[in-house]
A and B are shown apart, each in its own frame.
Chain A
């Protein structure tokens, strides 16, 4: 066996060892994930059963346990909105519907129930001032952030594929395709980045209790300026000493106890 053959044998063994390690790690992770998944599934089915039996409090507890474990799913959030609404908790119901809408803005069931919940809210929702971002990215409400990111990646990949073919094959016919692909990729990339910005800023919230006094300062003794009711949507402008500074509509600004507002 010469030196070259030894080297080849060594490479083969090294490959097997790495493959075995990866497989064992994958199996260990899969087992853990399966155990977690089984527990979540059981809790979920318990929540569904409780909802069916009219025990909405138990359904809320089950679904919130799953959500607290880190699962982020519009269907789960939708169920939480339903359970809260049936349980008489209008504020949390609208909060979970709003969270679900962030992930699946085009779900018809979700939109129907969300509209129903909003019809029960006391405070009239005033149209927020049209921001330049909202005008520029008007189409972003038509697709979920995940779908937008995927479309951006696909069109970006297609554009560079066409560019590569053009570079190596000198196909002039592809010139007409490259520009539209680039335009679409840029639009969806900008939209996706704005979605990331919005998710990171997380500035909106929902009033959770039946009534939430909005005060002029950071204490319960501060003058009550106005009162918001469950389900009212506010913009959170800041946070200080256990209070949120909120903006409801033109001229209606003040401080609300932090626990009275749920961030969307």
Chain B
């Protein structure tokens, strides 16, 4: 009975564990959802949208279907959840949505693409009311945008100005300027900041301007500029005023408030770009629109054939002056023209582009004669009078003289065919790399000499030098006579002790050893001594008397033996050798 109950309990536990596993598995399957911080807002207010993907490692949200809102990405965040010992990753994509119109708006289902598959969120409805944040006198902070001309002609420049007014402290304001679709846009200078008073209220104002030039005709809409800013929401305990932005203690170090991000946007601006009227004038239209003028100057009015005179034409004014091209100058036949690169001196300010563009060209008449150069003309569209205007310079006269004969003779003739080709710079006519190196030397390993080996090899010559010098100094024979005689004494004794030496040689060696030892003591070199001389040398040398006497006696005996001619027996030889060694040692 008990045994069967245990089986039932084990089976029940297994079923529960399996169910729990299935539940947890389903709980951790990938899922996505979208949510907003509120479903009702007014025009000019922003809504925070979050798209969360759970159980995926990475993903990508397609926000293109959102048409009713301007979408600003706020990045993504990741979090890790641990439930029942299992880890689940969640990715949250954050967006700020700004309604572009009032009414019942919709955030459509959004696709979230992940490696595990594509998922879709549910739609979200948002009600946007007409109340618009903007230029209300009651507002403490607002933005404005305006254009200098909402009906410009094609090519006519206009100025877009963005103003940001605020009466209290904000931090980290960020402007998303409009795309300016259909215009070329360039910012004018830097952001300007000043303080202004509107109906008795003091505002900080930041102004940013852009010069716009329409690219085509028709109705263009400049999208709203969006400004995001952080505002410090103060605690009510402080009782601070919205006008205390200059307060020293209004900073974050002394404020216990929290930071909140808000957005403002300008109204969209419609610009109706008008086409230029048809032009049927006699001179070609330059394409310039605005207020223009032209002037010209010729460097000299008389010159010789082959010389050059510089013609300078200046186009100046305001408008699309950067687009100005070199005016066409009708020149008589027989003139060569070399044009320089134009020089621009154009400024961009609050009224748009203005300045001048200078065109220089070198005129080289080839034939002598009196010439009258036609004036340079410029036809542009005047936006003030809304008509095409033509400006022209005064005509120029030019007298070209014949080149003098001697000068002509000095002219070096150009090389003619047969004398070699004219020299010219060699230019590349194609682009490619040089071929690979196909010989097997590319397989030779050119490993660099290791640093320790390099340092070792560097030190080897120095070490050898030191060793050689040391050995040389150690083994060098002394030049001192005392050393020389002492060495000779040692050598002579060694020779005397050699086997098989004759008596004469034996005695000579003993004599030389003894004499050398005595002379070594005196510090002089020599070959022979008498016993009296030996006494005289050893006396002042502090040699003990018995040694002096022994040396004298021994010297006398050796001389007697040498010159007596009596053969020496072995015993006598050994005694003489032994005594000589002893005396030499004691003298040394």
Contact = CB atoms under 8 A, between A and B. Distances in A.
B433 A116 contact: yes
Contact of A160 (B436, B449, B454, B461): B461
A153 B454 contact: yes
Contact of A145 (B448, B461, B462): B448
Contacts of B445: 70-73
Interface string A212-244: 000000000100000000000000000000000
A41 B443 CA distance: 7
Contacts of B431: 116
Interface in B427-480: 431-449, 451, 454, 457-458, 461-462, 464-465, 468-469, 472
B443 A76 contact: yes
B447 A72 contact: yes
A13 interface: no
A75 B433 contact: no
A164 B458 contact: no
A146 B446 contact: yes
A78 B442 CA distance: 9
Interface residues of A, number: 48
Nearest to A189: B458
B78 interface: yes
Contacts of A221: 76, 78
A73 B443 contact: yes
A20 to B, nearest CB: 28
Nearest to B447: A72
Interface in A37-71: 37, 40-41, 44, 48, 51, 59, 66, 70-71
Interface in A186-208: 189, 192-193, 196, 199-200
A193 to B, nearest CB: 8
A256 B446 CA distance: 32
B446 A196 contact: no
A184 to B, nearest CB: 14
Contacts of B435: 82
A163 B465 contact: yes
Nearest to A219: B78
A79 B454 CA distance: 29
Contacts of B454: 149, 152-153, 192, 196
Given A153-B454, A160-B464, A83 B446 contact: no
Among B431, B436, B438, B454, chain A packs the most CB atoms within 10 A around the CB of B436
18 contacts: A37-B443, A66-B443, A70-B445, A73-B444, A82-B433, A83-B436, A109-B437, A112-B433, A146-B448, A149-B454, A153-B454, A157-B461, A160-B464, A161-B461, A167-B468, A189-B458, A193-B451, A199-B448
Interface of A: 37, 40-41, 44, 48, 51, 59, 66, 70-76, 78-79, 82-83, 85-86, 103, 109, 112-113, 116-117, 145-146, 149, 152-153, 156-157, 159-161, 163-164, 167-168, 189, 192-193, 196, 199-200, 221
